[in-house]
């Protein structure tokens, strides 16, 4: 059974999706955060310390990227596995990330610029979804959490951090 709930913490929204009895996977949604983002994030992390989620993911945005090490360190300290939507989070201490390849996305966007400069109307061009995704696994973090990543998963990873 799946339950969903939102908790407001001084302008930050904590979205929890519960899968089965007592196994929350927590999403930190940053869209509604006030200018005191670090204070809001600290309150959300304090709440997470009490909630004891089984996993954590955090949306990637301009505000959250500056605090990726803080969130990664918190998750390691409290033995919470994490997955993020940007490889920089895994590189900063998160357990793993699965995200579009940003370099490839920029490369593909250059074809759009070329078409527009050659006279194509932007509204006539199709919208494209990312086609290449990267899986990054941080083995240092896995060891700190007492997790063993199966070899079949490690073989699929684009980057493994030792």
State how far the Cα of 103 lies from the Cα of 126, in Å rounded to an integer: 20
Low-confidence spans in the chain with pLDDT less than 70: 1-37, 59
Q: Where are the domains of the chain?
A: 2-97+134-161
* Cα-only R_g, the chain: 18
Instruction: Decide: residue 149, CB within 10 A, 0-12 exposed, 13-18 middle, 19+ buried.
Output: middle
CATH of domain 2-97+134-161: 3.40.50.2300
Q: Give the predicted TM-score (pTM) of the model.
A: 0.76
pLDDT of residue 53: 78
Phi, psi (degrees; rounded to nearest 5) at 132: -125, 130
pLDDT of residue 31: 45
pLDDT of residue 120: 96
How far from each other are the two terminal CA atoms of the chain, in whole angstroms? 37
List, for residues 69-114, the tens digit of each pLDDT value: 888 888 889 888 988 888 998 998 999 999 999 899 889 899 989 9
pLDDT of residue 162: 92
pLDDT of residue 36: 65
Nearest Cα residue to 159 out of 92, 90, 106: 90
């Amino acid at each position: 059974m799946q339950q969903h709930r939102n908790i407001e913490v001084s302008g930050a929204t904590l979205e929890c999706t519960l899968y089965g009895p007592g196994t929350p996977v927590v999403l930190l949604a940053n869209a509604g955060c006030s200018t005191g983002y670090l204070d809001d994030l600290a309150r959300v992390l304090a709440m997470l310390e009490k909630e004891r989620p089984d996993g954590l993911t955090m949306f990637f945005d301009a505000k959250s990227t500056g605090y990726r090490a803080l969130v990664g360190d918190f998750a390691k300290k409290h033995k919470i596995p994490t997955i993020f939507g940007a490889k920089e989070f895994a590189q900063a201490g998160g357990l793993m990330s699965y995200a579009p390849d940003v370099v490839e996305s920029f490369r593909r966007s250059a074809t759009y610029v070329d078409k527009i400069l050659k006279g194509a109307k932007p509204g006539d061009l199709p919208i494209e979804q990312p086609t290449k995704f990267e899986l990054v696994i941080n083995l240092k973090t896995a060891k700190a959490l007492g997790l063993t990543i199966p070899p079949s998963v490690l073989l699929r990873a684009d980057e493994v951090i030792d």
